[in-house]
Amino acid sequence: MMLPLAQYSAPDGVEKSFAPICDDPRYMTTEGRTTGPSDHVLNAGQIDRDKPSEPKRTEDGSQLTYLGRLRAQLTGLQDDINEFLTERMELAKNKKKVGADEKRIQEEINELLDGGDGDGDTD
């Protein structure tokens, strides 16, 4: 059986490939780590009515069917992609914050060099 693959590429040149690892338990279940309701929603008393069914097994129960295995592998890939993109968003947010802090500090330095008292008042 061919494994499902996913390829990510961004305008900034970042590229990443995603592929399931056959013997990793994360790719043998439909219980995704990054899917479903958030902890906040569950703690508020909501019930997960959209919880996915377990992947189908062969009649003797010894292994997953082809489609069951595919569903499980795709769930694992979705988790990998969600975690990667969340990490990229956090990096971008932190970079933006650092840039804003550096700009603010530079403006304060410039104001002090221009004879201001550094408190931001114009009087």
pTM confidence score: 0.70
Query: What is the spatial distance between Cα 68 and Cα 33, in angstroms, rounded to a whole number?
Result: 18
Query: pLDDT (tens digit, 9 = 90+) per residue, 39-81?
Result: 777 788 888 777 888 999 999 989 999 999 999 999 999 999 9
| Residue-wise pLDDT tens digits, 86-118 | 999 999 888 888 788 888 888 888 888 887 665
Which residues lie below 8 Å from residue 100, measured CB to CB, with a gap of 6+? none
The pair of structure tokens assigned to 61 is: 């129960």
> Would you say residue 27 has pLDDT above 80?
yes
Quote the pLDDT of residue 101: 80
